[in-house]
Chains A and B, each alone.
Chain A
């Protein structure tokens, strides 16, 4: 099955700096990679996702890059703000597979703290 590793487990940055979180996956057939943000005690919220047919996707201050050859993908947050503080999870799945339900395999999470 799929295995997703995520680094770092904790990340502290100064407000306004950039933050980068990296994930690697093991299943070369995985083709859909979402990123979720989870605040304490709350539900995970999808913030951005990328499919394997593109190498980069950007949405305002958030971007995700994907390297299929190396099987890794990264989340980039620029101009960080205190409200970006949360736990971020990467995930991977084989999209479009029938029967299997397209299970998401999650990374172990990164606690991001944006300090004033």
Chain B
């Protein structure tokens, strides 16, 4: 089945530094990937839609200069949290769609998530 990996799984950084999170589709090509943020005991909040070869589409209220997204290939999207602050601490999860799937192409497969702690 479709597998999505995420790296790193956990990161601790100092305030003011930048952190890059990678999302990879391991056995399929994903022209579209999604980035979510999840607070403890809360739902998944869509941050942006990452499109291969074009600019990401950000949800209302998400700062595009703060959360840089790059979808350089059909299997890799990256999210960079720039100048991180403690309020950016959260669980970040990516997902990808397998457009070549013979079944439901709308199905999103999730990565394992990255827990970010900014000190």
B interface, by DSSP: helix, strand, loop or mixed?
strand
Question: What is the number of contacts between chain A and chain B, taking CB atoms within 8 Å?
Answer: 58
Q: Are A34's CB and B42's CB within 8 A?
A: no
Instruction: Return the chain B residue nearest A97 by Cβ.
Output: B106
Bound: A46/B95 CA distance, A: 12
Partner of A108, one of B43, B51, B104, B107: B43
Question: Count of chain A residues with Cβ under 8 Å from any Cβ of B?
Answer: 26
Task: List CB contacts (< 8 Å) of A52-82 with chain B.
Answer: none
A43-B4, A104-B34 known, 13 other contacts, Cβ within 8 Å: A32-B106, A45-B110, A46-B107, A46-B108, A46-B109, A51-B104, A87-B41, A101-B51, A102-B97, A103-B46, A103-B49, A104-B46, A109-B43
Partner-A contacts on B (CB < 8 A)? 4, 32, 34, 41-44, 46, 49, 51, 57, 93, 97, 104-113, 115
